[in-house]
Amino acid sequence: RLRIDVPLTQYFLYTDSPPSGVDFQQARHVREDLVEYLASLDADKKGMEKALAIYERILAPVRRLPPEILMEIFAWTRNLQSYQLHRLKGSPWVVSHVCKTWQAAALSCPELWNNFIVSHRSVHKKDPCSMLRAIVKRCQNVLHFVLISDLIPMLSQIRGRLPNLCRLYFSSSYPDVDIIDGFEISPRLTDLTIDRQFNQKTQIAFSAAKLINFTDRRVPDPRHPHPSSLNIIRTAPDLQTFHNTNALPSRITPRIRHEHLTTINTCDPCLLSSFSLPALTDVTLSHPPAGFPPQSDGLQALHDLVSHSHCSLLSLRLLETPLNRHLSGILECSPKLTSLSLELFQWRRTDDVCLKSIIAHESLMPHLKTLIFLRHFIRVGPDIDETAAKFVDAVFVDAVALRCRDLMVREIYHPFSMKGS
C-alpha cells in the first residue's frame, strides 16, 4: 500500500515561508513514486485480465455442460476402491476444489463420496471430526470403518446423520471396545459386513429393518457367544444372506420362520434347528472351531431344516463336516441341486461309505453341474484312512461319465489320491 506524506502545505501555513528546494525535491520524488505505483497497478490489472481470459477460454466448454453431464463425468473418473479419509490428493476432494461449478457438481454427486475408509490415520489430522462430518454429509451409501479405540469418540459426530447409509464394513477393533452404538439410526442399511479381524466380544448396535445381507466373519469365541444373531433374523424381514459362525447355547422352539432368507453360512446345528426357511437355496455348513462344547450332528440339523421348510437347495458346501446318511436325505430333498462341494482337512472311512452309497443312487442330483472334493491336508486319527479316497472307483467314473454325456456336470475338482495310484 502506497503512503504519501509530504507536509508542504502544513509547513507553509505554520511558518508563512515558501518551501525550500529540498521540499520541492521531496515532492518530485513522491510524484515519481506515485506514477511508478500506478504503472504497477496497471500492469497487475492487465496480468489479471490476461489470466482471466486464458482461464475462461480453457474452461468455457466445460462451463457450457449441464450439471448432470458434469456429474456423470465425475462418476466415471472415481476409483473403484475405497478412498482414505485422510488423503486429500487423488480423491473427490481435488475435484471439488477446482472451481465453483465443479464444486457444486461434485457436492451434488453422492457417488463420489460413498466409499471412504475411516482409519487410525484419520485421527492424526488437524480436525478429523470436521472431515468425518463433511464425508457423512456428502456420502449417501457406503462407509468403511477400520475401527480403533481412538475413533470411538468420533462416532458421536455421525449418530443420527446417516439416513441414506446402505453398506457398512468394519475391519478391526481393539479389545477395549465393548459396544459400538453410532449406527442405530440408519434406516436404509442393507449390507453389514464384519471382517475376520474384528474383535469377537465387540457388539454393534445397528438398524436391521431393511437389512438384506449380514456377514460376520469373526472367529467364534465360546467365551463370548452372540445370541443377538437370532434377533437379526427376527427383526430383518428382507434378509436374504446370513453368514455367522457363532454358536447358540441351545435350539429355539418353536422354529423362527423367515420367508426371504436364501443363503446361510454357519457352523451351529442349534441355529439350523431354530429356523424354518422356505426360500433357502444355498448352504455352507462348517465344523465348529476348537474350544466349543460338543455339538449335535450338523447334517442331521440341516436335513431337518430342509424337510421342515420344504425347500430345495441349489448349492451345498460342507467344510470339515463328517459325512453320514443325512447327506443322502438332504440330496433327496434337493433335486434341483447344481453345486456340491466337500472340503475336508481329514478323510474318514465313514466318509467313503457315505459317498459310495450316494453314488450308487443314479437318481440323486440329476441337475448337478459342479462337483468339488477338496482335502487340504491329512490328520492322523483312529478313524482316518490316510492312504486313499476309495469312493473314486469304476462306479464313480460311470456316474460322472453319465452326467457328462448328458452335458450336466461341467466342473469336477478332485485332489485326492486314487486307490492303486
- pLDDT tens digits, one per residue of 138-171: 765 566 665 555 666 677 777 777 777 788 888 7
What mean pLDDT comes out for the span 365-388? 65
> Looking at residues 367-373, what average pLDDT do you find?
84
| Mean pLDDT, residues 259-285 | 93
State the residue for C-alpha cell 459362525: 245
Of the candidates 25, 22, 26, 21, the one whose C-alpha atom is nearest the C-alpha of residue 6 is 26
How do the domains of the chain map onto residue ranges? Answer: 8-61, 312-421
Q: Where are the alpha helices (DSSP H) in 108-185?
A: 120-123, 128-138
pLDDT value at residue 398: 78
Residue with cell 469304476: 394
* CA 178 distance to own-chain centroid: 22
Greater model confidence, 32 or 157: 32
Q: Which of 19-28, 67-76, 128-137, 367-376 has the lowest mean pLDDT?
A: 128-137
Residue 364 has pLDDT above 70, yes or no: yes
> Does 146 or 55 have the greater pLDDT score?
55
Least confident range of 14-28, 323-337, 354-368: 14-28
Mean predicted confidence (pLDDT) in 334-341: 92
pLDDT at position 412 = 56
Alpha carbon of 394 to those of 279, 287, 325: distances in Å? 37, 31, 22
Annotate 311-335 with b (16+ C-beta within 10 A) or e (fewer). Answer: bebbbbbbbbbbbbebbbbbbbbbe
Cβ atoms of residues 201 and 178 within 8 Å: yes
Give 192's strand partners: 168, 214
Please give the pLDDT value at position 184: 83
CB 164 within 8 A of CB 141: yes
Which DSSP category does 295 fall into?
-
- The whole-number pLDDT of residue 421 equals 40
- Quote the percentage of the chain above a pLDDT of 70: 68
Considering only 204-218, 269-283, 299-313, 387-401, which range has the smallest mean pLDDT?
387-401
Q: Give me the percent of the chain exceeding a pLDDT of 90.
A: 20
Name the average pLDDT for the chain. Answer: 77
The predicted pLDDT at position 380 comes to 45
What is the distance between the alpha carbons of residues 85 and 365, in angstroms, rounded to a whole number?
50
* Cα first-last separation, the chain: 95
Q: SS3 of 83, please?
A: strand
Q: Are 194 and 218 in contact (CB under 8 A)?
A: yes
**E strands along 70-166, which residues?**
83-84, 115-118, 142-145
Contacts 24+ apart (CB under 8 A), 17-20: none
Please state the rounded mean pLDDT for residues 59-82. Answer: 73
What pLDDT is attached to residue 62? Answer: 66
Residue 416 has pLDDT above 70, yes or no: no
Q: Taking residues 291-311, report their average pLDDT.
A: 85
* Higher per-residue confidence, 356 vs 275: 275
Query: C-alpha 398: how far from its chain's center?
Result: 44
Cell of 2: 502506497
Task: Please state, in angstroms and rounded to a whole number, the distance separating the CA atoms of residues 248 and 395.
Answer: 41
Task: State yes or no: pLDDT of 418 exceeds 50.
Answer: no
User: How far is it, in rounded angstroms, from Cα 212 to Cα 257?
Assistant: 16
Whether 52 has a pLDDT exceeding 60, the answer reads: yes
- 378 confidence band (pLDDT: 50, 70, 90): very low
- The answer to whether 140 and 167 are in contact (CB under 8 A) is no
> What angle, 0 to 180 degrees and rounded to 10, lies between the N-to-C axes of helices 325-332 and 349-359?
30
What pLDDT does 167 receive? 81
For residue 143, give every residue at least 6 positions away whose Cβ sits within 8 Å of its Cβ, in sequence order, or none: 116, 118, 135, 136, 162, 165, 167, 168, 169
**Residue 269 burial by CB count (10 A; 0-12/13-18/19+): exposed, middle or buried?**
buried
Q: For the chain, percent helix, then strand, then coil, each to nearest 5?
A: 35, 15, 45
pLDDT at 310: 95
Long-range CB contacts (within 8 A, 24+) of 222-231: 222/247, 222/291, 222/292, 222/293, 224/200, 225/249, 228/203, 229/271, 230/256, 230/274
- Cα–Cα distance, 200 to 346 (Å, whole number): 27
User: In which element (H, E) is residue 52 found?
Assistant: helix 21-63
Give 244's pLDDT tier (boundaries 50, 70, 90): confident
User: In this model, does residue 377 exceed pLDDT 60?
Assistant: no
Q: What is the DSSP letter of 383?
A: T
Highest mean pLDDT among 118-132, 352-366, 392-406: 352-366
Strand pairing partners for 60? Answer: none
For the question of whether the overall pTM of this predicted structure is more than 0.85, the answer is no
DSSP 8-state class, residue 149: G
pLDDT-based confidence at residue 373 (cuts at 50, 70, 90)? confident
